[in-house]
Amino acid sequence: MNRIVILGAGFAGAYCAQALERKLDRASSSILLLDRNNYFVFHPLLVEAGAGSLEPRHAVVSIRAFLRSTTFLMADVISVEPVNRRVVCRVAGEPTTQEIGYDHLVLALGSITRLPEVPGLARYGLEMKTLADAVQLRDRAIQMLERADACDDAARRRALLQFVVVGGNFTGVEVAGELQVLMSQARRHYPRVRREEIGVTLVELSGRILSNLDVDLAEYAEQQLSRRGIAVKLNTTLTGIEEDKVSFSGGAVLPAHTVIWCAGIQPHPLIAQTGLPTTPQGYLICEPELRVRGQENVWAAGDCASIPDPDGKPYPPTAQHAVREGAHLAANLARALSGEPLLPFRYASRGSLVPLGCRTAVAKVFGVKLAGFPAYFLWRTYYWLKMPGWSRKFRVALDWTADLIFARDIVQLGFHRPRTKSEE
């Protein structure tokens, strides 16, 4: 029996396993999926889950409910040994490791936030990669409101209410927009907090935000953010982060207590330990058929893989690409097992949708450009349709309907960073 082991239950890994279930004969093949969590995050709704317009648990999908015949193991992968065709892992909560052999291995380990050597970033910076990150940001925002409402010093109160978002990409723009909405609505519960004291600053190293979108859509997004009071700093980066202030390139200093780092990703650190060929940036080098270069039985998809398009450029690390890569990998793996020729992965992006908060967005879908509420409506409709399972679709629809009628709950959910000395 052919044993297929998939590492990583994100979009690429989960959809690969689902497609394999449909394509492989259970009598001749088995599928084992490993991940440290028994769910995958529906990333397009991650920021909304943190901002409070969506119940956090409705932004995750149960692996066991998503798959039928695949065996799932909730475990941390310790090492991958391609030469010996085995994976060493540790089941969550268990003290000992176990070895798992395989006939074919699929690496879909995803990515982590790239944290450059900016002084203070590792200690004070927040990320936006997991559900815990999203909820932690909301907890942090409410904590800052509580502290500001109890503060008599106007300058300190303003510093507590300043938020710096680094990275003018899709995630950074959405975080800045939703954070501004959350703070604007929440401040009404805090009598000593004034609107003008709240500040959100979006920092982008290049000359414009949303560099993957057309210039006119990016300019519209920047105008919308600026109109709502979000400061956009272009051609700028952070040179230092302290507990109560940040320093920008050029020498400017902003008193601020919260920094959210959304500037870039890097491969999962396990990739470097496999000994498999990687790009200078650390991503697995794949053939167009999604095999890892030089390997007959090791495959890769998603954020951890560098897969060439027809022009030789790597496909971008987006959710829509990961889903298609996972399904295509499953088809090619089934072909390999049956001795059929493999097909190269070819996919043209259907477009991009970027929410800006305040029920506005920008979008380019099938070459058609939209902005404002129509783009926002399209964004919600598209991802509602893509959400797996009708029960979850129903819950998400209820959440969004309630958000239209009622104010958001201004309450913490208990995700906190370790307190600094000044907070004790």
Residue 421 lies in a domain: no
Residue 284 lies in a domain: yes
Co-location of 84 and 26 in the same domain: yes
Q: Is residue 224 packed enough to be buried (19+ CB in 10 Å), middle (13-18) or exposed (0-12)? A: buried
What mean pLDDT is predicted for residues 361-390? 92
Strands, DSSP E only, in 23-103?
29-35, 39-41, 60-62, 71-81, 86-91, 98-101
**CA dist., res. 96 & res. 92, Å (int):** 10
pLDDT of residue 408: 80
Co-location of 240 and 304 in the same domain: no
Co-location of 259 and 270 in the same domain: no
Co-location of 54 and 142 in the same domain: no
pLDDT of residue 123: 93
Co-location of 91 and 177 in the same domain: no
**Choice between 26 and 164, residue whose per-residue pLDDT is larger:** 164
Residue 417 lies in a domain: no
pLDDT class for 257, splitting at 50, 70, 90?
very high
Residue 227 lies in a domain: yes
Co-location of 229 and 323 in the same domain: no
**Choice between 53 and 96, residue whose per-residue pLDDT is larger:** 96
- Among the residue ranges 52-56, 151-155, 266-270, 343-347, the one predicted with the least confidence is 52-56
Q: 234 pLDDT exceeds 70?
A: yes
Residue 345 lies in a domain: no
Q: 20 pLDDT exceeds 70?
A: yes
Q: Coil, strand, or helix at residue 357? A: strand
**CA dist., res. 196 & res. 162, Å (int):** 11
Characterize 325-361 residue by residue with b for buried, 16 or more Cβ atoms within 10 angstroms of its Cβ, and e for exposed.
bbbbbbbbbbebbeeeebeebeeeeebbbbbbbbebb
Q: For the chain, give the percent of residues with pLDDT over 90.
A: 84
- Are the CB atoms for 129 and 290 separated by under 8 Å? no
What mean pLDDT is predicted for residues 100-123? 94
Q: Coil, strand, or helix at residue 112? A: strand
Co-location of 176 and 226 in the same domain: yes
Q: How far is CA 275 from the centre of its chain?
A: 26
Q: 102 pLDDT exceeds 50?
A: yes
Q: What is the pLDDT of residues 341-353, one digit of tens each?
A: 999 999 988 888 9
Co-location of 182 and 248 in the same domain: yes
Order across the sheet with 360-365: list the strands: 351-357, 360-365, 368-372
What mean pLDDT is predicted for residues 220-245? 95
Q: Which domain holds residue 133?
A: 121-263+352-410
- Are the CB atoms for 165 and 203 separated by under 8 Å? yes
pLDDT of residue 366: 85
pLDDT of residue 313: 93
- Among the residue ranges 69-83, 100-114, 400-414, the one predicted with the least confidence is 400-414
At which of 308, 338, 368 does a domain end?
A: 338
Co-location of 227 and 313 in the same domain: no
Q: At what angle do helices 319-338 and 11-23 cross, to 10 degrees?
A: 30
Q: What is the pLDDT of residues 144-195, one digit of tens each?
A: 999 999 999 999 999 999 999 999 999 999 999 999 999 999 999 999 999 9
What mean pLDDT is predicted for residues 26-44? 93
Co-location of 328 and 397 in the same domain: no
- Among the residue ranges 37-46, 283-292, 409-418, the one predicted with the least confidence is 409-418
pLDDT of residue 350: 82
Q: 424 pLDDT exceeds 50?
A: no
Mean pLDDT for the chain?
92
pLDDT of residue 416: 54
The two beta strands, 162-166 and 298-300, are unpaired
At which of 312, 338, 364 does a domain end?
A: 338
For tokens 């390997």, name the residue. 295
Q: Which helix (H) or strand (E) holds 126?
A: strand 125-126
Residue 419 lies in a domain: no
**CA dist., res. 86 & res. 49, Å (int):** 37
Count of domains in the chain?
Answer: 2
Phi (first) and psi of residue 267, to 5 degrees: -65, 160
At which of 283, 306, 338 does a domain end?
A: 338
Co-location of 254 and 269 in the same domain: no
Co-location of 137 and 240 in the same domain: yes
Residue 422 lies in a domain: no
pLDDT class for 262, splitting at 50, 70, 90?
very high
pLDDT of residue 415: 59
* Side-chain half-sphere exposure of 342, counting CA atoms within 13 A: 19
CATH number for the domain spanning 147: value is 3.50.50.100
Residue 423 lies in a domain: no
Q: 7 pLDDT exceeds 90?
A: yes
Q: What is the pLDDT of residues 278-326, one digit of tens each?
A: 999 999 999 999 999 999 999 999 999 999 999 999 999 989 999 999 9
Q: Which of 177, 380, 325 is nearest to 262 (CA)?
A: 177
pLDDT of residue 339: 94
